[in-house]
A and B are shown apart, each in its own frame.
Chain A
């Protein structure tokens, strides 16, 4: 059953069309990757789903319920929680307190919330810095904090907006491990990413955006061979050469 259904989302900023009639579904307990070149409208789509923007047209269904244009905190409380690409730590609070704010969403009792926060901090490997102010973390730490904080809300759907961008390859590996662990707990994930190599190996489905349009929605194996995806990423010229090569023709 689909946990999230996006129907014909169109988002315009004045005359600029950031998303044009994008539709896709995210199945429960799956990992869906959302990719596309810069400016493809990935983050805007995230904003529309998480309630930061109200889509010009279209509908978002979460858990069978229409959440289009609801307030972000309502959507978060329903269980669809996102992280931010441009990290937003609560700077003057400690890392632990940051995560605790998330943990309080589903638990008003201090002890339970503290335990949940501990658990998420451990999961995201932030134990050694949990007493530091969030503003003092490295970029990798801040990205992991984004994830820990969102996780602490016990979401049904976790939407990660480029949590691996700008990380070293070791850090990417660590993040992948965390995501794998999360999947095994039954969480549904939607991941916007530029680091494709990692994403391809764990995603069940990839949705590709280009210029605001959805150009493909398929399994990772098929996506890497999709002509239009290659065209979007590498240009039409390369795409033609690739096609010719595949058909056994000579490349001039």
Chain B
């Protein structure tokens, strides 16, 4: 990347890499179609979902540099959008998904506007508080189902209801579509004006403004976009679990996943969220399966250790590690040649 950004950013080898990765992911579920291992498919669905969630967060947190711990709120609004469309109104989830995304974007702008007056850690702390407010609010709000949450009825499976009972393949491809939408959007942003403006705001707000960048507008737009994407993931999450309640979606736990997966993989990079999710999710699911109820915390312990190591040793995340290894290898090759 460094050293040859001189060319116009067109289709590069790096893009090829991730397109190849997506293709492989799409082919993999065809294998279980023969062996019918639904657990493996479940893990892959979660990888795609969490990678998408992390990528949504990456827009505002990684590229724009505003660390938000409030993303579970937007995730929850999306989940409730789909859930209420199906459970409360007996409709298909689709209008609920759209409304949820729009609502999440609106809520994001409303709560971010005052919070963006704060910077750095203070912004992050403020977003913490917002999760708690929404969590408590939804617990006592009857219209959205209160503490009992929303339980999906068993209705006809298929794309219309975005629901499948027989196999997980439908869910898998839906997750893949979401993944492609969100990663595609971020890829597009990376090469265009708005993407550069986001990074400029992250690197120095005053500098960016001196170059004509309206930093407040950039941050709000990035936040709205990020929130809408998170809501999309939330809607899928509700459809997949066939249930929504406040602790499930609007919790600090969920918020932390958004943040930590991205940081583990490499914040502000295209592939970071995918790398982070590819490590954390199998870890989480396989330890759970292996230890059963006893293993409930093991994945979090390992993950915690990974994060600590990463932040201390390579703050750029796994992407940074890969880059280091690449550099080391090319240096070594150069040495051998001499």
Contacts and interface: CB of A to CB of B under 8 A. Distances in A.
Interface of A: 50, 52, 71-73, 76-77, 81-82, 84, 88-94, 96-97, 100-102, 104-105, 108, 110-111, 113-114, 130-133, 149-150, 153
A97 B196 contact: yes
A196 to B, nearest CB: 26
A130 B6 CA distance: 8
A114 B8 contact: yes
Which 5 interchain pairs have the tightest Cβ spacing?
Answer: A90-B203, A76-B212, A105-B212, A131-B3, A72-B209
A50 to B, nearest CB: 7
Interface residues of B, number: 28
Given A93-B199, A97-B196, A104-B197, A150 B211 contact: yes
Nearest to B213: A73
Contacts of B333: none
Contact of A104 (B5, B9, B196): B196
A200 B328 CA distance: 50
B24 to A, nearest CB: 30
Q: Is the interface of A mostly helix, strand, loop or mixed?
A: mixed
13 contacts: A52-B206, A52-B210, A73-B212, A82-B210, A84-B210, A89-B203, A93-B199, A96-B5, A100-B196, A101-B211, A110-B8, A110-B193, A131-B6
Interface string B199-228: 110111011111111110000000000000
Contact of A81 (B191, B203, B206, B212): B212
Contacts of A110: 8-9, 191-193
Contact of A76 (B191, B196, B209): B209
A108 B194 CA distance: 9
A111 B8 contact: yes
Interface of B: 2-6, 8-9, 191-193, 196-197, 199-200, 202-204, 206-215, 268
A181 B49 CA distance: 54
B206 A93 contact: no
Given A50-B210, A52-B206, A97-B199, 14 more contacts: A73-B208, A76-B211, A76-B212, A82-B210, A88-B206, A92-B199, A93-B199, A93-B203, A101-B208, A101-B211, A105-B211, A110-B9, A132-B2, A150-B210
Nearest to A94: B5
A138 to B, nearest CB: 17
B27 to A, nearest CB: 33
A76 to B, nearest CB: 4
Contacts of A84: 207, 210
B2 A149 contact: no
B210 A108 contact: no
B4 A81 contact: no
A91 B209 CA distance: 16
A102 B8 contact: no
A90 B208 CA distance: 9
Contacts of B5: 94, 96-97, 131
Given A94-B5, A108-B193, A77 B212 contact: yes
Contacts of B197: 101, 104
B6 A91 contact: no
Contacts of B207: 84, 88-90
Contacts of B213: 73, 101, 105
A162 to B, nearest CB: 15
Contacts of B192: 110
Contacts of B196: 97, 100-101, 104
Contacts of A96: 5-6
Contact of B2 (A108, A111, A131, A153): A131
A92 B6 contact: no
A110 to B, nearest CB: 7
